[in-house]
Amino acid sequence: MVDVTNGGRPDQAASTAPAIELKGISKAFGPVQANKDIAIRVMPGTIHGIIGENGAGKSTLMSILYGFYKADAGEVFIHGRKTEIPDSQAAISAGIGMVFQHFKLVENFSVLENVILGAEDGPLLRPSLAKARGVLKQLAAEYELNVDPDALIQNLSVGHQQRVEILKSLYRQADILILDEPTGVLTPAEADHLFRILDNLRREGKTIILITHKLREIMEITDTVSVMRRGEMTATVKTAETDPAELAELMVGRKVLLRVDKTHATPGKNVLEVRDLRVKDDKGIVRLKGVDLDVHAGEIVGIAGVSGNGQSELLEVLGGYADGTGQISLNGQSLDLTGKHSDGQSRRARGIAHVPEDRQREGLIMNYFAWENAAFGYHRDPKYQSGLLMNHRAMIEDTERKIEKFDVRPPNAHLTAKNFSGGNQQKIVVAREIERDPDLLLVGQPTRGVDIGAIEFIHQQIVALRDQGKAVLLVSVELDEILSLSDRIVVMFDGEIMGYGPAETADQVGLGCLMAGLGGADTEAMQGWTISDAASAEPVDPSKSLIEAVDEKLHQKEAREARKNG
Amino acid sequence: MDRMPGWADAILVPLISLLLAAFLSALVIIGIGESPVAAFKLMVDGALMRSAGWGYTLYYATNFIFTGLAVAVAFHARMFNIGGEGQAMIGGLGVALVCLYIPWPHWSLALLGSAVGASLFGAAWALIPAYLQAKRGSHIVITTIMFNFIAAALLNYVLVNVLRPVGAMDPATAKFPDATHLPTFQDMFSTAADPMFRGAPANVTFFLAVIACVLVWLLIWRTRLGYEIRALGHSEPAARYAGISPVRTVVIAMLISGGLAGLMSVNTTQGEAERLILNSIEGAGFIGIAVALMGRNHPLGVFLAAILFGFLYQGGAELALWTTIPRELIVVIQALVILFTGALDNMVRMPLERIFLSFRRRKS
């Protein structure tokens, strides 16, 4: 592989055998055809992106390659040799490494112990650990994969945990690396670091398959990209010869608006007023440190921030299922933050509707029928009762109306929630909440795990509610979503508000700094923005790149929390 | 996508599990040196072929319906109430107090009164574990099983020191007044020409159990409370999001569960013994777990499973009477049924699912 260190681009290496070649892969789960006659060629030393909506069959394909599923038909060639992959052991010995979206690490083991787990050289650990330590050192130097080998996994940031996963694969001599939605859990800075690592790996001749639904990442790092739609490979193109709009069209099969069409907001009176809101979680960690926030009628306020910086707690307190201290008032009347009148029912009675961040855990009962879910939270409404019993007929009719209006597919109120795709599940939740005509709509991660077609629809519904003069508070970790949907943006970091201002003047770099708790020149350049004192304006060390400074700051925060956690 | 049709899930899976359990039991019987065919015939003859046999089978089934419903209701709130035994014991105390100290004019009123007493006492016994679970997070399995022991000790104390008639040697209450005597199946269905259910303990409480099945079905699937109980059972975060108080719902579900377990004592105490004795429950609280497991926590399933276990109980007694097969074998058979329907459910389910899938694929 010496001669392909950097020359493995598909255009220059026609003579080399592809690192991975799949021919005619098909896989069905019952009546669902997850993969249909998939063919793909990935040349060594390249990064190949696989992009597609949720449920397009990306993960199934990679699971076949990693030996989790057996294909119904088709062949796999690794470096030109036909290879059977009946299980993950075979995949590993064929040189394939996989980094899952949800890491498979032992939380209370050290990095070293995790790396050798399952690849120990003998019954005694000491020699394996010593060997691994040496290898890790070498890998760290080669690829910027720095992790403290003795740190416990539970004390590491997600970005570092992901590096451990990559190290695990490399330690097992993988030269083909599959990453499944690797940036879903990362901060922008961590994602940039990951991409640098991937770039280094490519330079050393490793082959990388990147599964994602984020177009930007595909454009940024891949050499070639395959698009999947409904189990089929619709196209494979060179990244340099395509653009995001074309890819998006290939993904959904039609042109989509990546920007939300909306008119200028005309904010009215103040609907939600939050003053000095503080929240301590059940471990005693302070999650919100005095938050002040206003949301007016007829505007969408977007809360930007890396996940885990207090946004969830803010929604929970407003939604009535976490206790807090401070003052919150709705339409000028204050809300109870503890006690009997601080629950989801009383919040709904006051006109607060809530699309929760995690629809599968909170927003829906996955084993309930659509018609049961479409009343969930409002099930005590007299219109759903008849005497002592619930009025199932009314609930079903109500659901069928919502299904039609919100284009839920399949349009069947008698399916359980788990039988709908992510996007249609979310439509059920959004329909339920918006149809109550609330004064304030709380929306958490409205489009997480939702396909592009449904994203567009859900965004339109949220904007339509705003245009009716309702107040909307949006929390999302997708900066694109915040930027395109919000009228005003508030940035949170570590339980505090770092700054707020109009969405038109916000820019990605400035928001990125605020999301990491930094002030500085980039944030001051945003017109009309108020930067809070909490955003440390300390000039970034000129010897370090901005990304490293952000990284360090986040790391400090995590170390602080780890200490508090004991 | 559901992997197989509902009827297969509800009927085929338990049926195959049952056949597997029967097959293994047959092997055990062969090992003892008896004929499994003869043993099975004896069980069927003894439990199902005579009206008196049915009278015993349904008597046991009545107990198991109540305790099975108790486990099922708690299970819908994802509470594993294994304290049915204790709740039934204390329920028996309620029955005894109601029957002994209130002068009832007619058995029907006495039945209502003792049902209220039994369910209140049973519910009260479930309240403390429920509260500890809901408020303090003490695991309901641990607390309910400990409360079984406390109930046994308490009952022992009360029977020996408080309720035992002066001069009696037996740790039991006095016989209940005749007015509280519940009509047995014999009283109800026998004619002079055609004696039915002779000597069998099955009584009018059986119909109470059937009514309880219907009411529990209505409660779980048709009322708001049932909707909230099931929601909490499926996902506590979702329940909190919806404003369903987990504490309140857990406590209510456990009170209903305890009340149902307590009701069982109407059958054993007022219906059969007509006085409160020390060991009237005889493990029915635990059988209720198996009944609920096998009946998939659905009242109809619980009803059918209770009849099956009633049959096993009565048939087992016949076996012990007429063959060298010890009564304990019945415990083995019951254990095998529990093992296959409860613990090894997936062993049957997964191959079945695969068969259905391939069948469906061939069709499409």
Residue to mutate among B2, B227, B350, with most A CBs inside 10 A, is B227
From chain A, pick out residues whose CB is under 8 angstroms from the CB of B2.
416, 419
CA distance A364 to chain B (A): 7
Cα–Cα distance measured from residue A510 to residue A499, given in angstroms and rounded to the nearest whole number? 10
pLDDT at B208 over 50: yes
Look up residue B24 and give its two tokens: 């293994």
Look up residue B94 and give its two tokens: 């309620």
Residue A537 lies in a domain: yes
From chain A, pick out residues whose CB is under 8 angstroms from the CB of B360.
30-31
A122 shares a domain with A75: no
Q: What is the mean pLDDT of residues A435-461?
A: 89
Name the one residue in this structure whose structure tokens are 């060390």: A541
Contact A376 B231 (CB under 8 A): yes
A403 shares a domain with A302: yes
A169 shares a domain with A75: no
B188 touches chain A (CB under 8 A): no
From chain B, pick out residues whose CB is under 8 angstroms from the CB of A344.
240-244
Give the single-character DSSP code of B49: I
Of A226, A244, A238, nearest to A35 by C-alpha is A226
Residue A216 lies in a domain: yes
B103 touches chain A (CB under 8 A): no
Cα–Cα distance measured from residue A119 to residue A99, given in angstroms and rounded to the nearest whole number? 16
CB A362 within 8 A of CB A322: no
Give the single-character DSSP code of B136: I
Tell me the domain boundaries of chain B: 65-190+200-301
Query: Tell me, what's the ipTM?
Result: 0.88
pLDDT in tens, A266-316: 899 999 999 999 999 877 778 899 999 999 999 999 999 877 788 999 999
A331 shares a domain with A224: no
User: Closest-CA residue in chain B for A347?
Assistant: B243
Residue A566 lies in a domain: no
CB A188 within 8 A of CB A512: yes
CB A36 within 8 A of CB A52: no
A460 shares a domain with A332: yes
From chain B, pick out residues whose CB is under 8 angstroms from the CB of A321.
240-241, 243
> Strand order in A81-82's β-sheet?
A32-42, A20-29, A73-78, A81-82
Residue to mutate among A313, A340, A347, A390, with most B CBs inside 10 A, is A390
Helical residues (DSSP H) of chain B, grouped into ranges: 6-7, 13-32, 36-44, 51-76, 84-101, 107-131, 140-157, 185-189, 205-222, 224-234, 236-242, 246-265, 284-294, 299-322, 328-338, 345-363
Residue A249 phi, psi (nearest 5): -65, -40
A163 shares a domain with A112: yes
A72 shares a domain with A207: yes
Contact A363 B238 (CB under 8 A): yes
Cα–Cα distance measured from residue A511 to residue B323, given in angstroms and rounded to the nearest whole number? 84
Sign of the CA dihedral with A275 first, then A280, A281, and A286 last: positive
A438 touches chain B (CB under 8 A): no
Contact B240 A321 (CB under 8 A): yes
Confidence of residue A258 (pLDDT cuts 50, 70, 90): low
Contact B1 A419 (CB under 8 A): yes
Please identify among residues 236-295 of chain B the ones whose CB lies closer than 8 Å to any CB of chain A.
237-238, 240-245
The SS3 assignment for B330 reads helix
pLDDT in tens, A215-231: 778 888 999 999 888 78
Residue A257 lies in a domain: no
Contact B357 A372 (CB under 8 A): no
CB A377 within 8 A of CB A352: no
User: Closest-CA residue in chain B for A32?
Assistant: B1
A380 touches chain B (CB under 8 A): yes
A276 shares a domain with A238: no
Sign of the CA dihedral with A287 first, then A293, A298, and A300 last: negative
Whole-number pLDDT of residue B238: 96
A209 shares a domain with A278: no
Task: Say which of B234, B237, B361 has its CB closest to residue A367.
Answer: B234
Whole-number pLDDT of residue A11: 41
A410 shares a domain with A396: yes
Residue A539 lies in a domain: yes
The SS3 assignment for A311 reads helix
Query: Can you give the CATH number for the domain in which A228 is found?
Result: 3.40.50.300
Cα–Cα distance measured from residue A485 to residue A468, given in angstroms and rounded to the nearest whole number? 15
Residue A274 lies in a domain: yes
Omega before residue B237 within 30° of 0, cis: no
Tally of domains in chain A: 3
Look up residue A461 and give its two tokens: 């519904």
Distances in Å between the alpha carbon of A335 and those of A171, A330, A339, A351, A380? 55, 7, 11, 12, 21
Residue to mutate among B136, B216, B241, with most A CBs inside 10 A, is B241
Q: Where are the beta strands (DSSP E) in A89-223?
A: 96-99, 176-180, 207-212
CB A187 within 8 A of CB A555: no
Task: Say which of A28, A361, A388 has its CB closest to residue B238.
Answer: A361
Confidence of residue A515 (pLDDT cuts 50, 70, 90): confident
Whole-number pLDDT of residue A226: 92
Of A440, A426, A370, nearest to A398 by C-alpha is A370
Sign of the CA dihedral with A366 first, then A369, A371, and A377 last: negative
Q: What is the mean pLDDT of residues B110-127?
A: 97
| Helices and strands in chain A: count of H runs, count of E runs | 18, 23
From chain B, pick out residues whose CB is under 8 angstroms from the CB of A347.
243
A284 shares a domain with A162: no
What count of residues does chain B have? 364
pLDDT in tens, B271-328: 999 999 998 998 899 999 989 988 889 999 999 999 999 998 898 888 888 888 887 7
Look up residue B221 and give its two tokens: 């699937």
Task: Say which of B1, B235, B244 has its CB closest to residue A30.
Answer: B1
The H-or-E segment that residue A218 falls in is: helix A215-221
From chain B, pick out residues whose CB is under 8 angstroms from the CB of A28.
361
Burial class of B27 by CB neighbour count within 10 A (0 to 12, 13 to 18, 19+): exposed
Of A341, A295, A351, nearest to A320 by C-alpha is A341
Whole-number pLDDT of residue A550: 60
Residue B94 phi, psi (nearest 5): -60, -45
Residue A75 lies in a domain: yes
CA distance B74 to chain A (A): 18
Q: Where are the beta strands (DSSP E) in A192-324?
A: 207-212, 224-229, 232-238, 270-280, 286-296, 300-304
Contact A365 B222 (CB under 8 A): no
Boundary of a domain, candidates A174, A198, A219: A174
Confidence of residue A502 (pLDDT cuts 50, 70, 90): very high
B193 touches chain A (CB under 8 A): no
> Whole domain around residue A515: which residue ranges?
270-555
Boundary of a domain, candidates A251, A279, A294: A251
CA distance B255 to chain A (A): 19
DSSP letters, A388-442, are TEE-HHHHHHHHHHHHHHTT-SS--TTSBGGGS-HHHHHHHHHHHHHTT--SEEE
List, as own/partner pairs, every contact residues B143-149 make where C-beta atoms lie below 8 angstroms and the sequence separation is at least 24, other chains included.
B143/B83, B144/B81, B144/B82, B144/B83, B144/B86, B145/B82, B145/B83, B147/B83, B147/B86, B147/B87, B148/B82, B148/B83, B148/B85, B148/B86, B148/B89, B148/B285, B149/B86
CB B252 within 8 A of CB A385: no
Cα–Cα distance measured from residue A488 to residue A509, given in angstroms and rounded to the nearest whole number? 17
Confidence of residue A348 (pLDDT cuts 50, 70, 90): very high
CA distance A319 to chain B (A): 7
Angle CA(A455)–CA(A484)–CA(A503) in degrees, nearest 5? 155
A444 touches chain B (CB under 8 A): no
CB A334 within 8 A of CB A341: no
DSSP letters, B338-357, are HIIIIITHHHHHHHHHHHHH
Name the one residue in this structure whose structure tokens are 């009696």: B168
Boundary of a domain, candidates A174, A192, A208: A174
Contact A392 B222 (CB under 8 A): yes
pLDDT in tens, B23-46: 998 998 898 888 999 989 999 998
The SS3 assignment for A20 reads strand
pLDDT in tens, A310-328: 899 999 999 999 999 999 9
CA distance B179 to chain A (A): 35
From chain B, pick out residues whose CB is under 8 angstroms from the CB of A345.
242-244
Q: What is the mean pLDDT of residues B337-358?
A: 80
> Roughly what angle, to the nearest 10 degrees, separates helices B246-265 and B205-222?
170
Whole-number pLDDT of residue A524: 80
pLDDT at B345 over 80: no
A388 touches chain B (CB under 8 A): yes
The SS3 assignment for B90 reads helix
pLDDT at A451 over 80: no
From chain B, pick out residues whose CB is under 8 angstroms from the CB of A365.
230-231, 234-235, 238
A367 shares a domain with A327: yes
R_g over Cα of chain B: 21
How high is the mean pLDDT of chain B? 91
Residue contacts between A and B (CB atoms, under 8 Å): 81
Residue B65 phi, psi (nearest 5): -60, -45
Residue A83 contacts by C-beta under 8 Å, 6 or more apart in sequence?
A: A76, A77, A90, A94
Angle CA(A383)–CA(A386)–CA(A387) in degrees, nearest 5? 130
Cα–Cα distance measured from residue B343 to residue A396, given in angstroms and rounded to the nearest whole number? 36
B357 touches chain A (CB under 8 A): yes
Q: Residue B221, Cα to own-chain centre: how many angstroms?
A: 20
Residue A520 lies in a domain: yes
Please identify among residues 14-33 of chain A the ones whose CB lies closer than 8 Å to any CB of chain B.
28-32
From chain B, pick out residues whose CB is under 8 angstroms from the CB of A343.
240, 243, 245
Whole-number pLDDT of residue A560: 67
Confidence of residue A420 (pLDDT cuts 50, 70, 90): confident
A390 touches chain B (CB under 8 A): yes
Of B195, B183, B358, B221, nearest to B298 by C-alpha is B221
